[in-house]
Chain A
Amino acid sequence: GQSLEQPSEVTAVEGAIVQINCTYQTSGFYGLSWYQQHDGGAPTFLSYNALDGLEETGRFSSFLSRSDSYGYLLLQELQMKDSASYFCAVRDTYGSSYKLIFGSGTRLLVRP
């Protein structure tokens, strides 16, 4: 089967650093993505890792270890507006094309 596991909830204080982990088991793998979704909003793309290592985009960084089937999203200098749900997603083969398989999501609550 195919599965992605991530914590259901994480709480942190403003200004802190938080790491959201994602482990995956899929039939194919062509990259790990992270999406942010605020309540009532659409998912928005944060980052994509196709190769091992760390990708940094401003306050957000994403890491991938393909040998461990593991990745994480690191959020630094947390702000109240970062309170949202975060989904990891694996890009997997789909016939002759690709599709995204989403994890169950991690709800991040940032407290003052």
Chain B
Amino acid sequence: SAVISQKPSRDICQRGTSLTIQCQVDSQVTMMFWYRQQPGQSLTLIATANQGSEATYESGFVIDKFPISRPNLTFSTLTVSNMSPEDSSIYLCSVEDSRGDTQYFGPGTRLTVL
């Protein structure tokens, strides 16, 4: 299994500002995933981040709005840029086990944009 931590756990931000969310894993992993989850809703994949290459974004998500860094095999950041109230959500990072059977999720970052 993998132990994942995220910072911050929650934040309240003003419209137009940016927030960077950090994700730290206790072991080296090839791929890290970033999801968004509205309260009571399903998980929507934002992008997949491989170390040493640019992140791959899902339809509806763009790099200018959600830039991602992946400087090494245990760490990634997701920035939510130029925030609006519609960006209020829970943001989760996850990693996959070596067999690909299981994804482990971080505790999430609860973002509120005023």
Contact = CB atoms under 8 A, between A and B. Distances in A.
Contacts of A42: 92, 105-108
Interface stretch (B39-47, B70-78, B79-87): B39-47
B105 A44 contact: yes
A33 interface: yes
Contact of A99 (B33, B42, B92, B104): B33
B101 interface: yes
A87 B96 CA distance: 17
A45 B102 contact: yes
A28 interface: no
The 10 closest A-B pairs by CB, nearest first: A42-B105, A48-B101, A45-B102, A102-B43, A104-B42, A102-B42, A43-B105, A42-B107, A105-B42, A42-B108
Nearest to A45: B102
A87 B107 contact: no
B103 A45 contact: yes
Interface residues of B, number: 20
Interface centre among B43, B48, B104, B106 (most CB of A within 10 A): B43
A112 interface: no
Given A42-B105, A42-B106, A99-B33, A91 B42 contact: no
A95 interface: yes
B19 interface: no
Contacts of B51: none
B56 A94 contact: yes
Nearest to A4: B42
A35 B102 CA distance: 10
A71 interface: no
B65 to A, nearest CB: 20
16 contacts: A30-B100, A31-B101, A33-B101, A33-B103, A41-B107, A42-B105, A43-B105, A45-B103, A87-B42, A91-B100, A94-B48, A98-B100, A99-B48, A102-B43, A102-B44, A104-B41
